[in-house]
């Protein structure tokens, strides 16, 4: 009998317990603290993010930090103690906004007993990668604090946020773009957000644990490598044909070609991702062929 229990265990095996547990019972809540709430109108209103919001998989709330100021100019910044260039985002509006959100205490977030995270966007933070996105996608609530000016009063990082996240080794003018990147990356991992959830498991940077779940025959999943090249119709365009192997219908050959091209692309663009110890025997042989050894 294919009962509800076996269905549930299939789904849990497929998507992971934490992801399924959260998405089965409630929408992920995302709070964005910013001085430019209108910035998010575009990023949140298209494609997968819009559909995920409409489907009730994620609930995004925007909080204008100027609403938490007390002076008539709605001041959110001030000069840095000790002198120096630029202005610093003041702590009061951020703390006061947080007071209204009912987020779990920092200690509970840090210990993992609360499935929530308060993230300060910062060039000095841990760099966002797919593993971190997968971790964040298992939580019930994300609060993202967008900095501006020279940065945010450090007490926000020390006493309020439980982590600082950077989206790359460059300096943005504000945290809003970074927050939009995090929301996009995380929400598409929530089961149901992407039409075919399998596609998120065959993408660049997909962790090895995901690969194991697919079994050894699934050689087209990324397993931490970059994705393989994709083609669509027409089969020939302006004298540029798609690789013959993709149109001949031999699935074993297609899988092998995809694995080989994923290895080639990773070697060319991101050799730092190639960990020989984590590669299968087949991968190592393919890599040796590619390198002409």
Helix/strand/coil for 137? coil
**Least distance to ligand SAM, CB of residue 129, Å:** 13
Binding flag, residue 62, ligand SAM (CB under 6 A): no
When asked if residue 85 is in the footprint of ligand SAM (CB under 6 A), the reply is no
In the complex with ligand SAM, the residue whose CB is nearer, 93 or 175, is: 175
Decide: is 148 part of the binding site for ligand SAM (CB under 6 A): yes
Site for ligand SAM in 107-146 (CB under 6 A): 121-124, 146
Q: Is 258 a residue that touches ligand SAM (CB under 6 A)?
A: no
Query: Of residues 48, 172, 207, 245, which one binds ligand SAM by CB under 6 A?
Result: 172
Is residue 174 close enough to count as binding ligand SAM by CB under 6 A?
yes
What's the min distance (Å) between Cβ of 88 and ligand SAM?
A: 9
Residue 151 binds to ligand SAM (criterion: CB under 6 A): yes
Q: Which of 173, 196, 217, 232 binds ligand SAM (CB under 6 A)?
A: 173
Residue 150 sits in the site that holds ligand SAM (CB under 6 A): yes
Q: How far is CA 121 from CA 173, 210, 288, in A?
A: 11, 28, 41
Question: Contact between 83 and ligand SAM (CB under 6 A)?
Answer: no
Say whether 288 sits in a helix, a strand or coil: helix
Q: Which residue has the tokens 């690969």?
A: 211
Shortest reach from residue 221's CB to ligand SAM, in Å? 29
Per-state percent for the chain, helix, strand, coil, to nearest 5:
45, 15, 40
Show contacts with ligand SAM in window 176-195 (CB under 6 A). 178
Q: Is 104 helix (H, G, I), strand (E, B) or coil?
A: coil
Number of neighbouring beta carbons within 10 Å of residue 157: 19
Q: How far is CA 44 from CA 30, 124, 193, 196, 215, in A?
A: 11, 25, 13, 20, 35
For residue 74, what is the DSSP state?
Answer: -
Using the contact rule CB under 6 A, the part of the chain among 163-171, 219-227, 237-245, 253-261 near ligand SAM is 163-171
The window from 161-169, 207-215, 259-267, 269-277 that contacts ligand SAM (CB under 6 A) reads: 161-169
Nearer to ligand SAM, 80 or 229 (CB): 80
d(CA 124, CA 109) in angstroms, rounded, equals: 20
Number of residues that bind ligand SAM (CB under 6 A): 20
Q: Look at strands 163-166 and 141-145 and give their pairing.
A: unpaired
Is residue 170 part of the contact set for ligand SAM (CB under 6 A)? yes
- Is the CB of residue 186 less than 8 Å from the CB of residue 222? no
CA distance 143 to 104: 11
Q: In 65-211, at which residue ranges do the beta strands (DSSP E only) sit?
A: 77-78, 88-89, 116-127, 141-145, 163-166
DSSP designation for 37: G
When the beta carbons of 138 and 166 are compared against ligand SAM, the nearer one is 166
CA distance 156 to 55: 33
Contact residue for ligand SAM among 166, 206, 222, 266 (CB under 6 A): 166
Interface ranges with ligand SAM (CB under 6 A): 121-124, 146-148, 150-152, 166-168, 170-175, 178
């Amino acid at each position: 009998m294919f009962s509800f229990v076996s269905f549930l265990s299939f789904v849990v095996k497929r998507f992971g317990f934490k992801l399924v547990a959260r998405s089965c019972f409630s929408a992920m809540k995302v709070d964005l603290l910013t001085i430019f709430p209108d910035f998010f109108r575009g990023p949140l209103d298209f494609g997968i993010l819009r559909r995920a919001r409409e489907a009730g998989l994620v609930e995004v709330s925007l909080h204008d930090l100027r609403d938490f100021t007390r002076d008539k100019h709605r001041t959110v910044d001030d000069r840095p103690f000790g002198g120096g260039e630029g202005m610093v985002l003041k702590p009061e509006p951020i703390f006061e906004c947080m007071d209204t959100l009912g987020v779990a205490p920092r200690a509970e977030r840090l210990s993992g007993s609360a499935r929530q995270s308060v993230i300060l966007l910062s060039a000095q933070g841990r760099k966002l990668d797919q593993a971190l996105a997968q971790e964040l996608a298992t939580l019930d609530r994300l609060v993202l604090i967008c900095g501006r000016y020279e940065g945010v009063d450090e007490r926000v990082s020390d006493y309020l946020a439980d982590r600082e996240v950077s989206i790359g080794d460059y300096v943005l003018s504000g945290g809003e773009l970074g927050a939009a990147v995090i929301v996009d990356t995380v929400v598409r991992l929530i089961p149901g957000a992407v039409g075919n959830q399998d596609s998120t498991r065959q993408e660049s940077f997909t962790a090895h644990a995901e690969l194991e779940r697919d079994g050894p025959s699934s050689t087209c999943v990324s397993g931490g490598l970059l994705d393989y090249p994709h083609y669509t119709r027409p089969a020939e365009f302006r004298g540029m044909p798609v690789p013959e192997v993709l149109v001949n219908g031999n699935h074993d050959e297609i899988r092998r070609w995809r694995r080989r091209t994923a290895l080639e692309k990773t070697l060319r663009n991101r050799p730092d991702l190639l960990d020989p110890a984590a590669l299968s025997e087949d991968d190592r042989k393919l890599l040796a062929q590619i390198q002409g050894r």
